[in-house]
Amino acid sequence: MAAVQDRGAKGPGDRASPPPRRTPLTPFQRLARPHALMAAGEAVMAISLADSLFFSIRPGEARGKVLLFLALSMAPFAVVAPLIGPLIDRMAGGRRLIVQVAAIGRCAVAMLMIVYLDSLLLFPLAFAALVLSKTYTVSKSALVPTVVTSEVELVEANSKLGIIAGLGGFVAAVPAAILQIINPRATLFLDALIFLAAFVLARRLPREVVAAQRQGSREKEELRSSAIFLAASAMGLMRASVGFLFFELAFWLRDRAAGTAWFALGVAFAAIGTLIGNVIGPRLRRITREEIMLVGALGFTGVAGLGAAVAGGVLAAVLLMGVVNGSAAVGKLAFDSIVQRNAPDANQGRAFAQFETKFQLAWVVAGIVPVLIPIPGALGFAIVGILALFAMVTYLVSMRRMRLGRPIPTPLSTRARRELSRRVGQRREGTPTTGTSRPPRDPSRDLPPPAAPPKAAPRSRTER
C-alpha cells in the first residue's frame, strides 16, 4: 500500500505561495515620516543651542551674536523666497529637493557644531541651522496640498502633521535634555543622526509640481481679499508672539538655577501645546466658524500672557510656552481654512508657501526684540499678552467694518511702503524729500491774484 502523502508536503505541480505584498505608502505618509524626524531634530537643536548660545557665554556676547544671525536670517525670506520660490514651485520635484537639502544641511551643520562647539564658528553655523529650519517649514507648507486628494482634506492633513510634530518634539526633548547634561556633543550627534534619517526618508517624497502655471490675476485678487488679508495680519502677530516668547524665555532663564533644564521643559511644553492645538483644531472647526477660532486663539493667548505676568515664576513661563504654541496651532488651522474658503481658484501650495514665508519673517523680527533689549520676565509675558489682545481687537474691529461695507484702515506697513515709494520717486525726479510729506507748492500760487473786472455803473431812471 502506498504511503499516505503528508498534507504539508508540496507536490511537483504545486507552486509556492507568493509573499504578502506590502501596502504602498500614501503620499501623505511619505511626507509625515520625514516631518516627524525634522520636528524631533528641531527640538534637539533648540536645546543644544540654548545651552551653547544662551547659557555658556557672557550675556553681552550672547545677545550680540544671536542678534547678528537673526538679522541675517531675514534675508532668505525677504529677498530670496519671493524670487526663487515661484521657480521652484514650477519645477518637478523642486520642493522635494529643498526638503532634502534642508535635512542633509542640518545634518552637516550638527556635525560641524560638534567640532566647533567652543569656537566662534558656532554662531554662523547656528545661523545656517535657523535658515535651513525656516526653509523647510516653507517647503513643507507648499507640499501639503500635493499629498491630499481634495482640498477638504487639507486642514485635517495639517492637523495630523502638527500632531506628529508635537509628538516628535516632545519625545526627542527628553533624551536631548539628558544628553545635554552628560555631554553637549552627544546631543549634537543625536541631532545629526535624526536629520540624516530625515534625509533618507525625504528621498521618497512624491516628485510633483506645486504650481505648473504662473500666478494669474484671479488668483492674486482672491488672495488679496479683505478676509484673507485680515486673517493673515492676525496670524502674523500670533506667530510674532511665538518668536518673541522663545528668545525672551531663553535669555530670561540665563540667571536662573538649572536654566538649561527649564528651557528644555519649555520646549517640551511647546511641543505638547502644538499637539493639543492640532488635536482640538479640527473639532472646533466643525462647531464654529474659522474667524471665531482665530479670535479665540488670540484671546486665549492674551489672557495667558497677562496671567503669567501676574503670577511670575519659571513655571508660569513654561506653561505660557505651551499655551502660545497651542493657540498658534489652532490659529494656523483656522487661517488655512479661511484661505481655502475665500480663494478657491488659487493654487494652495503656492499660496501657503507665500504666507508661511511672511509668518516666518514675523517670527524672526519679533525674536530680535528680546535679543536686542533685555526685558524682565514679567514684562515680557505681559508684552505677549498685550500683543495678542491688540491683534484680537483690531481683527474684530476690521471684520465688523468689512461686514458693514466700510473701508478697512490701512496698516502701518502699507503706509510705510507707500511713503517710501513716494520718496524714492521724488528723489528720482530731483524733488527734495526733506520736511513734511506735502506735495510740492504750485508756483502759480505765488503770483498776485488777477484784478477784478470793473463794476458796471448804475443805470439812470431814463435808461431803465
- In this predicted model, what pLDDT tens digit does every residue of 326-369 receive, in sequence order? 999 999 988 988 888 887 777 777 787 788 888 888 888 898 88
197 to 100, 111, 185: CA distances (angstroms) = 11, 14, 19
DSSP per-residue codes, 73-88: THHIIIIIHHHHHHHH
pLDDT value of residue 267: 80
In tens, the pLDDT along 273-297 reads 988 998 888 888 888 888 899 999 9
Q: Which of 181, 317, 190 is nearest to 260 (CA)?
A: 181
Helices (H), 203-252: 217-223, 226-252
Neighbours of 453 (CB within 10 A): 6
Q: What are phi and psi of 463, to 5 degrees?
A: -70, -30
Coil vs helix vs strand at 92 = coil
- Is the Cβ–Cβ distance between 289 and 239 less than 8 Å? no
pLDDT value of residue 198: 93
The three cell numbers of residue 413 are: 506697513
- Is the Cβ–Cβ distance between 102 and 135 less than 8 Å? yes
Neighbours of 117 (CB within 10 A): 17
HSE-up of 453 (CA within 13 Å, CB side)? 2
Please identify every stretch of the chain with a pLDDT value under 70, giving residue numbers as ranges.
1-23, 50-87, 151-152, 211-212, 255, 257-260, 406-421, 424-464
- Is the Cβ–Cβ distance between 55 and 259 less than 8 Å? yes
- Is the Cβ–Cβ distance between 211 and 94 less than 8 Å? no
Residues 6+ apart with CB under 8 A from 377: 248, 252, 312, 317
CA dihedral 431, 436, 441, 446 (to 10 degrees): -130
The three cell numbers of residue 364 are: 524672526
Coil vs helix vs strand at 440 = coil
**CA–CA–CA angle 414, 419, 421 (5° rounding):** 95
Q: What whole-number distance in Å separates Cα of residue 323 and Cα of residue 345?
A: 34
Q: What whole-number distance in Å separates Cα of residue 268 and Cα of residue 363?
A: 19
The length of the chain in residues reads 464
One-letter amino acid at 113 equals M
454 to 449, 457, 459: CA distances (angstroms) = 15, 9, 15
pLDDT value of residue 386: 94
Q: Which of 384, 391, 424 is nearest to 248 (CA)?
A: 384
pLDDT value of residue 424: 64
CA dihedral 12, 17, 18, 19 (to 10 degrees): -130
Q: Which of 300, 301, 319, 308 is nearest to 378 (CA)?
A: 308
Helix or strand (DSSP H, E) at 306: helix 290-311
Q: How far is CA 146 from the centre of its chain?
A: 19
pLDDT value of residue 57: 52
pLDDT value of residue 380: 92
pLDDT value of residue 1: 42
**What is the set of domains in the chain, with CATH numbers?**
27-403 (1.20.1250.20)
Give per-residue burial for 357-383: e unless 16+ CB within 10 Å, then b.
Answer: bbbbbbbbbbbbbbbeeebebbebbbb
